[in-house]
Amino acid sequence: MPKIRLQKYLSQCGVASRRAAEKMIDEGLVCINRRLATIGESIDPEKDLVTVKGKAVKPQSFHIYIALNKPRGYISSCSSSQGACLTDIVKIERKFFPVGRLDKESEGLILLTDDGELANRITHPRYGCEKEYEVTCAEELKAEELKEFRHGIMLEDGKTKPCKIRPAGENKYSIIISEGKKRQIRRMFQHFGKKVIRLKRTRIKGFRLGSLGTGQWRTLSGSEILELRS
């Protein structure tokens, strides 16, 4: 059987996305045949034993795909060590992880899965996956500020890619970005001294939150999964 990159294998096993798997390898949590693994290694799934924190991992025979309308006050994690988390809402026997994140005070669409390949297609910068948000801020953006949004804003970790933004009501805006810097939208508004009061994600690629109520979740259909994979 052809060899496969270790981080790709871990994502196929539902352990984490590829980038998160690389971090786990770097932190010394992954072993190949009982020796510490290193980033960049490849394995033969039929011959090599891969363990994470001492437990053997194998590819899932099938994956789960869930859309959740995350309420405020929940962290985008499956661990309760830092407070209320996603597994407090989605209570199923299978393990899963969030595809991308929303900070604790943000709400809206978040995808949950154990399919690392799909997570990689949505979160890796090279795919330029669009994500749409509804933003309410304390005061109106000026015309020149809207223009800067559309051309890119210089933040402390680099310039943002041009985004799409349009007014959607009093001090409300619809904004579409194709990258995922940490707390990016809040920091973009903060750059102009504008405080974000409410931040809600409504779309990831072609998948929309729709009528899913706050705190509700559902499994995705086959056609929805294919759309996210495209």
pLDDT > 70: percent of the chain: 99
Could you please state the CATH topology (level 3) that the domain comprising 130-204 is classified under. Answer: Pseudouridine synthase (3.30.2350)
Q: Cα–Cα distance between 68 and 112 in angstroms, integer?
A: 7
Q: Which CATH number is associated with domain 4-56?
A: 3.10.290.10
Cα 151-139-203 angle, rounded to 5 deg: 55
How do residues 118-165 score in pLDDT, each as one tens digit? 898 898 888 999 999 999 999 999 999 999 999 999 999 999 999 999
How do residues 173-229 score in pLDDT, each as one tens digit? 999 999 988 899 999 999 999 999 999 999 999 999 999 999 999 999 888 887 888
| In the chain, domain spans | 4-56, 65-124+207-229, 130-204
Average of per-residue pLDDT values in the chain: 91
Q: Cα–Cα distance between 190 and 75 in angstroms, integer?
A: 21
Decide if 50 contacts 6 (C-beta within 8 A).
Answer: yes
Cα 58-61-65 angle, rounded to 5 deg: 105
Decide if 100 contacts 180 (C-beta within 8 A).
Answer: yes
Distances (CA, A) of 109 to 22, 202, 224: 26, 6, 14
Q: Confirm whether pTM is higher than 0.95.
A: no
Distances (CA, A) of 220 to 18, 35, 114, 130, 142: 22, 38, 13, 19, 39
Kindly name the residue from 26, 103, 115, 157 that is annotated as catalytic: 103
Active site residue 26: no
Query: Was domain 65-124+207-229 assigned CATH 3.30.70.580?
Result: yes
What is the per-residue pLDDT for 186?
Answer: 96
